[in-house]
Amino acid sequence: MQFHHNGYVSADPRVQPAAGTGLDRLEQLPDEMDVLIVGAGPAGIITAAQLSAFPDVHTRIIDRRPGRLQIGQADGIQSRTVETFQAFGFAERITAEAYVITETAFWNPDPQDPGRIIRTDRTADDPTGVSEFPHLVVNQARVIDYFAEFAANSPARTAPDYGWELKELSVDQAGDYPVKAVLTGCGEDNAGIERVVRAKYAVGADGARSNVRRCIGAKLAGDKANHAWGVMDTLAVTDFPDVRTKCAIHSSAGSILLIPREGGQLFRLYVDLGEVPADDGGRIRQTPLEEIIRRAQAILKPYTLEVKDVAWHSVYEVGHRLADRFDDVPLEQAGTREPRVFIAGDACHTHSAKAGQGMNVSMQDGFNLAWKLGYVLSGRAPQSLLRTYSAERTVIARDLIDFDKQWSSMMAASPAELEGKEGVAEFYVRTAEFPAGFMTEYAPSELTAASAHQHLAAGFPIGKRFKSGQVMRLADANPRHLGHHHRADGRYRIYVFADEHPAGQSQKIADLSDWLLGSERSPIVRFTPAGADVDAVFDVKVVYQQDYAQMDINDAPKVFRPSVGKFGLTDYEKVYTTLGSPDIFDERQISRDGAIVIVRPDMYVANILPLDATDALASFFEPIMLQQHG
């Protein structure tokens, strides 16, 4: 955590100084704003949190709820999402209060006595060590709380405006604020009041029945039928021994997914209620709690389940549905005009709760979109950057739905149906990386280079998330996770892995530093706003191959020791060396001749280049950024 560089701050360093629109933010929803986010669920709140790091962008986020979400909805947090929380500064805190999944147990009918269940398998949750972060279970409400805290503590001081429902939304392409939104008050003080507000851009993060989606005319395609689950957050006395372990339970009486919850007592049961016929007419949603409990008791036999309290229950009825586009540009006009309205999260895609994806993918949608909006609105990037949102995220959503269909049908299948096929446990292990959130791989585009130089750092696949590794921070001899310095501050990261020469003797590293600081073509020179710190847009770090004890920090070239802040103090947190073990060069298969690894603000690897490829480096950023001066 870096602070005090503009002078001593006597307070929680997580509260950043207000700036820009955060200096005089109106309590009340104004008539005009840069971005209007509809919905303060996971997709909306992460969008607001990330945008709050852009002080010049005026963001408002409305929700028809009267206040914060209190209970219910999703609870599974993939380790990929915890990596994201790290960038927002709350990974440790939420982990400390969450349930940590380390294993999944599989229960099936006892072949000897099919009326009883027995444990047939037990698999590690992350057998391959795909992330250094754990897989968590914690209420969606707390996830939203933490993002809201981050937004409130960020320079723009963004906070939700509760009690406003979006009724209509339209775009006229003229004027400074082309998006027009009609809202109705539904809070305590504003009930029934109608407002028209205007924005430069709008984000529909308004859930599965998205009104924004309707207003922009996006089409939902997918299953005709829904699948229904009786969900209950339960406090109970039971002799089922795995009640604090994640379990997939198949019995002759039906199936249950059991998810232990935070706090040591609560657990969630998803009791399968089956496909919902098209003509059900909402009847399934009337399934009484008693019926869900009764089914759960039957499935768990011979174990007892004495339910003491149900904190929340619901019939979660959901189908596999996907919007044809995630913005307001009709497919036939794609590429001819820029989008003004976006949809994110459940507004774009819905699927079962089985693989624990909904909340996670929704947040990744928001994270992908928000920095792009921030760049365009603060004049860092051309408007065309915004096209990449729908292009990138529709593919991810489609993969997700395909995966979830397989997973759901596995989970729904009876033991007899699975006979002779791959078992649930095997499927689970084989595909573990997917539900953990690590299969996202953006195709080559102007944001993500083709893989010409992938071999220079094979362990950082271009288009996938930057997988952190441990290194030694030279200045204070602290072993650190390189990737954990990636904060959600909207900056690009440029990691320079040095060649074999020690610091002070590497001509390539010295030349690169000179070029980055001095060349007319350098992205730092071209795209950093006048008067801003040299690392305001590009955070450049170096990792040397030598032993830290043999290195003098003054031998690192200047781009890695920039003078920052109002006193021009040296930033000491950009110079690293390998640890003896693990050695990040070995772990991530980085060439001993060095490599440059470029990482997007949303943590995805954008490009890999040789140390001397300054032309390619310049060309890469040219189409996606705007010259700031000169």
Candidate list 230, 345, 374, 601; residue touching ligand FAD; CB under 6 A: 345
Residue closer to ligand FAD (CB basis): 166 or 584: 166
Token reading at 600: 């997007």
Instruction: Establish if 353 lies at the interface with ligand FAD (CB under 6 A).
Output: yes
Residue closer to a copy of itself (CB basis): 333 or 563: 563
Binding part of the chain for ligand FAD, among 57-65, 169-177, 602-610, 615-623 by CB under 6 A, reads 57-65
Binding part of the chain for ligand FAD, among 131-139, 219-227, 233-241, 354-362 by CB under 6 A, reads 354-362
Instruction: Establish if 197 lies at the interface with ligand FAD (CB under 6 A).
Output: no
Contacts of residue 470, Cβ cutoff 8 Å, sequence gap at least 6: 479, 480, 481, 482, 579, 582, 584
Binding part of the chain for ligand FAD, among 356-364, 368-376, 388-396, 609-617 by CB under 6 A, reads 356-364
Closest CB 175 distance from ligand FAD, rounded Å: 23
Residue closer to ligand FAD (CB basis): 77 or 471: 77
Binding part of the chain for ligand FAD, among 2-10, 343-351, 472-480, 544-552 by CB under 6 A, reads 343-351
Q: Which of residues 235-264 bind ligand FAD (CB under 6 A)?
A: none
Give the chain's end-to-end CA distance (angstroms, integer): 34
Bond preceding residue 260 cis, omega within 30 of 0:
no
Complete DSSP assignment for 1-63: ----BTB---S-TTSPPP-GGGTT--SS--SEEEEEEE--SHHHHHHHHHHTT-TTS-EEEEE
Closest CB 48 distance from a copy of itself, rounded Å: 20
Taken in order 328, 331, 332, 338, the sign of the CA dihedral is positive
Instruction: Establish if 179 lies at the interface with ligand FAD (CB under 6 A).
Output: no
Residue closer to a copy of itself (CB basis): 273 or 503: 503
Backbone angles phi, psi at 453, to 5 degrees: -110, 20
Taken in order 472, 475, 478, 483, the sign of the CA dihedral is negative
- The enclosing H or E element of 100 equals strand 99-101
Amino acid (one-letter) located at 577? T
Binding part of the chain for ligand FAD, among 37-45, 109-117, 431-439, 470-478 by CB under 6 A, reads 37-45
Residue closer to ligand FAD (CB basis): 125 or 206: 206
The closest alpha carbon to 147, from 366, 348, 374, 435, belongs to 366
Candidate list 51, 231, 449, 611; residue touching ligand FAD; CB under 6 A: 231
Residues in the chain: 630
Residue closer to ligand FAD (CB basis): 128 or 406: 406
103-110/246-251 β-pairing? parallel
Binding-site size, ligand FAD (CB under 6 A): 32
Residue closer to ligand FAD (CB basis): 62 or 293: 62
Measured between alpha carbons, how far is 474 from 570 in angstroms, rounded to an integer? Answer: 14
Closest CB 162 distance from ligand FAD, rounded Å: 9
Q: How many CB atoms lie within 10 A of CB 373?
A: 26
Token reading at 201: 């851009």
**Which residues contribute to the site for a copy of itself (CB under 8 A)?**
1-5, 7-10, 12-14, 70-71, 92-93, 96-97, 99-100, 102-103, 122, 139, 141-142, 145, 233, 235-237, 239, 241, 243-245, 260-266, 308-309, 311-312, 475-479, 549, 552-554, 563, 565, 567-573
Measured between alpha carbons, how far is 140 from 94 in angstroms, rounded to an integer? Answer: 11
User: Where are the alpha helices (H) located in 165-324, listed in sequence order?
Assistant: 211-216, 289-299
Measured between alpha carbons, how far is 414 from 424 in angstroms, rounded to an integer? Answer: 11
Candidate list 22, 29, 37, 41; residue touching ligand FAD; CB under 6 A: 41
Instruction: Establish if 38 lies at the interface with ligand FAD (CB under 6 A).
Output: yes
Residue closer to ligand FAD (CB basis): 109 or 345: 345
Side-chain-side CA neighbours of 275 within 13 Å: the count stands at 12
Q: Which of residues 128-167 bind ligand FAD (CB under 6 A)?
A: 140, 165-166
- Per the rule left: phi > 0, alpha: psi between -120 and 50, beta: everything else, 565 is left
Q: Which of residues 263-302 bind ligand FAD (CB under 6 A)?
A: none
Instruction: Establish if 16 lies at the interface with ligand FAD (CB under 6 A).
Output: no
Candidate list 151, 205, 542, 617; residue touching ligand FAD; CB under 6 A: 205
User: Where are the alpha helices (H) located in 98-240, listed in sequence order?
Assistant: 140-153, 211-216
Would you tell me which residues interact with ligand FAD (CB under 6 A)?
38-44, 62-65, 72-74, 140, 165-166, 205-207, 211, 231, 314, 316, 345-347, 353, 356, 358-359, 362
